[in-house]
Amino acid sequence: MILLTSLAQKYAGQVPYEAHFVPFFGVAFDSLADKENTVKRAGQSAIDALYGMFPQEAKGGAVLLELLEYLKSGAKWQCKVGCLKLFDRIIEEVPADLLEMKFSVGVPVLTDAATDFKPELSKEGMATLTRFVKVLDNLDLSPRYDIIVATLAEPSKVPSCIKSLSSVTFVAEVTEPALSLLVPILDKSLKMSSSSQEQLRQTVKVCENLTRLVNNKREIEKFIPVLMPSVRKVVESASLPEVRDMAGEALNVLQDAESEKSDGQFHGRLHTELASDYLKSLKSTINDDVIFNYLVDVLKNDANVNDWTALSEYFGMALDPYYPEETEKTKIVDHLVHQMRELFTPDAVNESNEDGVVIVDTDFSLAYGSRMLLNKTHMRLIKGHRYGLCGRNGAGKSTLMRAIANGQLEGFPDQSELRTCFVEHKLQGEEADLDLVGFIAKDKDLGVVSKDDIASALATVGFDAERRAQPVGSLSGGWKMKLELARAMLMKADVLLLDEPTNHLDVGNVKWLQDYLLEHTDITSLIVSHDSGFLDCVCTDIIHYENKKLAYYKGNLSDFVQHKPEAKSYYTLTDSNVQMHFPPPGILTGVKSNTRAVARMKLLC
């Protein structure tokens, strides 16, 4: 152990030679069962030294997988407890998005540890499983993580867990990690001979809700063979029509996902085989299978979480021994990163300016409190385009706009470069009696603007002298919107941030707002709205929240439906006769079922 510690310390920082030390974790864990305390201490020192050699993406990748393999082995319980303690350290130190990618392989292994016959090991295993599960940021499931973990470890709790889950109104996007937790429970419930018709009804209800909320069907791919036979059996044999119908809805989504496997397009995560293909040009130069496979794993992990900075930095060091010429090495790394970005976020590397002038081009993350709303994503805005910002309720659309307005979004140009205005009702109670010119003049951002210029701007959007003399508190919602647009004009805004701009507007004022946006082609707009008709008429692009990333689609809402086939189950828009099919509340902002929205669509389009 002393020799292993010395070697680990000697080669620490000598990237990428740490790859050869991954198998030695098992040797160090084995020493923890020795009768001599000095051997145990030396083993723990070796574990610490080995762990310190690896970057985050390897700790959440190659190292974590090595620990899982060790936990599956026949090692002594004392050794496995030591392994679980290092696993806890990884949970504490490695970013959640890297850990979530390992849920499908990690949860079953940790569940086995949590149910081991040795009480010391099962206690530690249950604690580690619980910590691991709580890494997942899912607002629907987080209040039920304890019962989910308990049910994974004790199948007799399946009925009560299913009952609890069936009462959830699912709105958060469902991803592979969430399915890794729930599919084993759903599968047990569907196969239990003791399941009542009510339990089956609740189970297929949860299945239908979950499958409906899978944004990228590749997230569900590995679970199709597990769920489909049992769901199909319910469709064919359940005695209650309601149960059969609900199971049929879930089966349709599973079948759609299965048919998508062979479409030839890239979806979902970068797999080992594909990552290896992207590095194959380096294989003959590296000429070391251990290091090459290790680099494949690092590439896969960083690319899957869009961590281009970490990918560039690590490969910049890792290729030093093989490409001593800095220029050549930099060229290789830049090309690799560009390939990955083109694969995952093509908008981020699109250098064509055929569509216009790019005014925002930045990578960023956005958190609200302890919640990560957008993680390592990209924003690219083109001058004059009108972007509809769509996503499920709670995804963080308004938070994103507020962060931009407050100058808190990393990489977004400040007001000296790009004048950005959040169009909102800023009226305070004590300002209700001010006339309109006086109200705008109080804005700290317009301190140098004269009252004559303010009056002129107000006249441009329809405020005559009589109306300008009215107290601001007497304005209707439509006139308040025009007042805020006049303020934006006076700021000479380059970017308008519009959060629910049609709220409380009648059809005439919605038409006025639409015309205003369509006429001012030099202004870029970012719009959050529940009014599907308004979005369909004004948007040139849709930005969609997908698994804490921003995905870009050219065209309006109707075009978005065509590009995003699964959205067809949410709503349908046609040119000649507007027909809308709406999901349950909270599924997709940008869609709202009411007769006024339909009337607007007919008038505006």
Q: Please report the DSSP string for 111-177 in residue order.
A: HHHHT-SSHHHHHHHHHHHHHHHTTS--TTTGGGHHHHHHHHH-GGGHHHHHHHHHT----SPB-HH
Question: In the predicted model, what is the mean pLDDT of the chain?
Answer: 88
The candidate with the shortest Cα–Cα distance to 333, out of 306, 310, 362, 361, is 310
Q: Mean per-residue pLDDT for 228-251?
A: 91
CA distance 509 to 503: 10
* pLDDT of res. 351: 62
Token pair, residue 212, equals 């409906």
Phi, psi of 493 (to 5 degrees): -65, 135
Q: Mean per-residue pLDDT for 42-58?
A: 97
3-class secondary structure for 484-510?
A: HHHHHHHCCCCEEEEECCCCCCCHHHH
* pLDDT of res. 591: 41
Element (H, E) at 2: helix 2-11
Q: pLDDT tens-digit profile of 371-383?
A: 899 999 999 999 9
- Type of residue numbered 527: I
Q: How far is CA 417 from the centre of its chain?
A: 29
* pLDDT of res. 246: 87
* Among 175-184, 228-237, 555-564, the least confident range: 555-564
* pLDDT of res. 264: 47
CATH T-level topology, domain 358-419+494-604: Rossmann fold (3.40.50)
* pLDDT of res. 172: 83
Banded pLDDT at 546 (limits 50, 70, 90): confident
CA distance 440 to 461: 14
3-state secondary structure of 382: strand
Neighbours of 394 (CB within 10 A): 18
The candidate with the shortest Cα–Cα distance to 50, out of 91, 88, 1, 96, is 1
The C-alpha angle 425, 428, 432, rounded to 5 degrees, equals 95
Q: Which residues partner with 497 through β-bridges?
A: 422, 526
Phi, psi of 552 (to 5 degrees): -110, 135
Phi, psi of 483 (to 5 degrees): -60, -45
Element (H, E) at 525: strand 524-528
Q: pLDDT tens-digit profile of 184-226?
A: 999 999 999 888 999 999 999 899 888 878 877 778 888 999 9
* Among 27-36, 135-144, 538-547, 553-562, the least confident range: 553-562
Contact between 116 and 125 under an 8 Å Cβ cutoff? The reply is yes
Q: Mean per-residue pLDDT for 524-529?
A: 95
Q: Which residues partner with 358 through β-bridges?
A: 382
Q: Mean per-residue pLDDT for 414-438?
A: 83
Element (H, E) at 552: strand 549-554
* pLDDT over 90 percentage in the chain: 66
CA distance 467 to 479: 10
* Among 184-193, 307-316, 434-443, the least confident range: 434-443
The candidate with the shortest Cα–Cα distance to 361, out of 377, 374, 378, is 378
CA distance 64 to 136: 17
More confident residue, 113 or 247: 113
* pLDDT of res. 433: 86
C-alpha to C-alpha distances, 195 to 190, 224, 236, nearest whole angstrom = 7, 21, 16
400 contact partners, CB below 8 Å, separation of at least 6: 366, 373, 374, 389, 409
Q: Which residues partner with 380 through β-bridges?
A: 361
* pLDDT of res. 18: 97
CA distance 590 to 536: 9
21 contact partners, CB below 8 Å, separation of at least 6: 7, 8, 11, 50, 53
* Among 33-37, 275-279, 307-311, 447-451, the least confident range: 447-451
Could you state, in order of their start, the residue ranges of all structural domains in the chain?
154-262, 272-344, 358-419+494-604
State yes or no: pLDDT of 56 exceeds 80. yes
248 contact partners, CB below 8 Å, separation of at least 6: 235
Is 15 exposed, middle or buried (CB count within 10 Å of its CB: 0-12, 13-18, 19+)? buried
Q: pLDDT tens-digit profile of 241-271?
A: 989 998 998 888 888 778 765 444 555 688 9
Q: pLDDT tens-digit profile of 322-356?
A: 999 999 999 999 999 999 999 988 877 776 656 78
- pTM of the model as a whole: 0.85
The candidate with the shortest Cα–Cα distance to 543, out of 407, 357, 431, 388, is 388
3-class secondary structure for 99-111?
A: HHCCHHHHHHHHH
* pLDDT of res. 352: 61
State yes or no: pLDDT of 126 exceeds 70. yes
